[in-house]
Amino acid sequence: MKKIWIIPIALFLLSGCQWFERHRRGEIAAQVGEKILYENEVKALVPIGTSSEDSIRIVNRYIQQWATQQLLYQRAVEYSEQKEEFEAMVNDYRRQLYVHEYEQNLLQRQQSDTISEDSLKSYYDAHHELFRLRDNYIKGMFIIVPKRSRDLDKLINMLREPNDDKLPDIEAYAIEKSLGYSIFFDRWQSFSEIKHRLPLKTSDDSSWLKQNTFITLEDTTQTYLLRITDRIYSGDEMPFEIAKTVVKDVMENGQRISILKSLEQDMYKNGVKHGDIYLKETRTIEEQIAALPKPIEPTKPVTSEVNPIQQGTIMTNTQQPTITKPNPSATTQQPEAQQPEAQQSETQQEETQQEEQKATEEPEEQQTKQETKAQEEEEDETPQTQATFDFNIFD
């Protein structure tokens, strides 16, 4: 009985979900294939207070554009020759968006909001040689006053030799009579930013700064005064005051990298641990080397005894007996009993070598003699008419 009620309940829930979805978005205004445009989406485009005629015109124009774009997209996908490449690019971009959003939310929860001044100073002291200026910086003051302003000479005299006693008077004059000013005796200011506010043109800022400490410039309506009390040049080591912002960015970036790297490592370990990642069984390099078959050691060549027949020391039945001729040098040698042992051994070795050489040469001589004899027999058997015929030709 319970099973009978499963299908009607499922149909009721499905229809109810569709009714709530249709109620939230409204009726269908247009549809192209599986893409649907709802009335509430179109109504949101009409500004409040628009007349009914203008509203209808806006809605109809939007529906027409929407339907045309959907058809154009479907046709483009159908005839595209790079569909797979585009799908891969879209999927990769979608993945990057989701990952970036997840990482930013994670960083907001885990990254420290503030880095203490002591931490910044410690990092700067350890890596101060890495921070170099990319611009010239100065300390001093500049002030803009109307041309031919009263007490201008008094202001110029105070700026030529400023000190702590004159500073209140300079600031009071600037507040009351200047068109703009900036006092930075106690902090570094980019010279490019100051120069941008002055009618000053230089080809080499560093050289110009080395030669000037106070200047007065004028245009048609204003007078510009610049007093420089200290300067540092592009390429010099950054003072901590300027490097503090850069150091903070470097340390915050290091925190982000550390957090994200830890996240990736933990995620990978948990994935392997819980079976979310399948890994083929691998072995270390040492294990792979140990598993390799051992190389076969080269075997020593088998040495066989020399065949005495090949050496010619044993005479076969087919060989003719050889007659050993007396060695003339043997008559001049002393008796063996009277010769030293070393000389006797050398003599024996020489005689053995000569006998072996003769034994190897005699078969070759015999073969040569046999070949010569065979050629002579062939010549004897040649008909005489051939010789006579040849003779008659030449005659």
Q: With contact defined as beta carbons under 8 Å apart, do 155 and 225 qualify?
A: yes
Instruction: Identify the band that residue 32 occupies on the pLDDT scale cut at 50, 70 and 90.
Output: very high
Tell me the CA distances in angstroms from 51 to 43, 46, 57, 213, 273, one per residue in order. Answer: 13, 10, 10, 69, 64
Q: Residue 155's pLDDT is what?
A: 86
Instruction: Identify the band that residue 274 occupies on the pLDDT scale cut at 50, 70 and 90.
Output: confident
Averaged confidence pLDDT in the chain: 77
Lowest mean pLDDT, pick from 8-12, 152-156, 227-231: 8-12
Q: Cα–Cα distance between 211 and 221 in angstroms, integer?
A: 27
3-state secondary structure labels for all residues of the chain: CCHHHHHHHHHHHHHHHHHHHHHHHCCEEEEECCEEEEHHHHHCCCCCCCCHHHHHHHHHHHHHHHHHHHHHHHHHHHHCCCHHHHHHHHHHHHHHHHHHHHHHHHHHHHCCCCCCHHHHHHHHHHHHHHCECCCCEEEEEEEEEECCCCCHHHHHHHHHCCCCCCHHHHHHHHHHHCCEEEEEEEEEEEHHHHHHCCCCCCCCHHHHHHHCCEEEEECCCEEEEEEEEEEECCCCECCHHHHHHHHHHHHHHHHHHHHHHHHHHHHHHHHHHCCCCCCCCCCCHHHHHHHCCCCCCCCCCCCCCCCHHHHCCCCCCCCCCCCCCCCHHHHHCCCHHHCCHHHHHHHHHHHHHHHHHHHHHHHHHHHHHHHHHHHHHHHHHCCHHHHHHHHHHHC
State mean pLDDT over 241-268. 91
* Per-residue model confidence as pLDDT tens digits over 285-332: 677 677 666 666 655 555 545 454 444 444 444 444 444 445 544 444
State mean pLDDT over 187-202. 91
Q: Residue 6's pLDDT is what?
A: 47
Cβ-based neighbours of 309, under 8 Å, separated by 6 or more: 316
Checking if the pLDDT of 273 tops 60, the result is: yes
State mean pLDDT over 84-94. 94
Checking if the pLDDT of 118 tops 60, the result is: yes
Instruction: Identify the band that residue 235 occupies on the pLDDT scale cut at 50, 70 and 90.
Output: very high
* Per-residue model confidence as pLDDT tens digits over 333-358: 444 444 444 455 556 666 666 666 65
Q: Residue 72's pLDDT is what?
A: 95
Q: Give the CA dihedral 147, 150, 152, 157, nearest 10 degrees.
A: 180
Checking if the pLDDT of 7 tops 90, the result is: no
Looking at the DSSP bridge assignments, the partners of residue 189 are 138
Q: Residue 295's pLDDT is what?
A: 64
State mean pLDDT over 152-171. 84
Closest CA to 173 of 153, 191, 199, 188: 153
Token pair of 323 as six digits = 């007659």
- The pLDDT > 90 percentage for the chain reads 37
Query: Which pTM value belongs to this model?
Result: 0.52
Domain segments of the chain as ranges: 3-79, 81-110, 133-236
Lowest mean pLDDT, pick from 121-125, 148-152, 199-203, 312-316: 312-316
Q: Residue 352's pLDDT is what?
A: 66
- Sheet of 222-232, strand order: 180-190, 137-146, 222-232, 214-218
Q: Residue 278's pLDDT is what?
A: 82
Checking if the pLDDT of 42 tops 90, the result is: no
